[in-house]
Amino acid sequence: MTTKNELAAAVSAQAGLTKAQAAAAVDALVDHINIEVRNGRDLTVAGLGVFKRKQREARSGRNPSTGEAIQIASKRIVQFKPAKAFSDAVA
């Protein structure tokens, strides 16, 4: 797993920025993704994928400890759909 500091170091090396500038850029990107998705807007990063907020409907489930039927509340989730180029590169 890569940490945010390791990502900033990689951005620093590749873009020729200081580590502080790269860390600020990574923080700004993460903040922008959070703001856009929180406000219900899809965010597309070309070559990477699409971040979007979805609503997961309420459903019934089972308590794994007791086997008792329970109701699971609806909630908002974040969905990431990778771009084809990204999926192809990983495969």
Which pLDDT score, from 0 to 100, does residue 50 have? 97
Supply the range of the domain harboring residue 43.
4-90
The CATH code of the domain that includes 62 is 4.10.520.10
10-residue mean pLDDT series, the chain (91 residues): 93 95 96 95 95 96 94 96 95 90
Domain count, the chain: 1
Q: pTM of the prediction?
A: 0.78
| Cα–Cα distance, 21 to 9 (Å, whole number) | 10
Which pLDDT score, from 0 to 100, does residue 1 have? 84
- The full DSSP string for 20-65 is HHHHHHHHHHHHHHHHHHHTT--EEETTTEEEEEEEEPPEEEE-TT
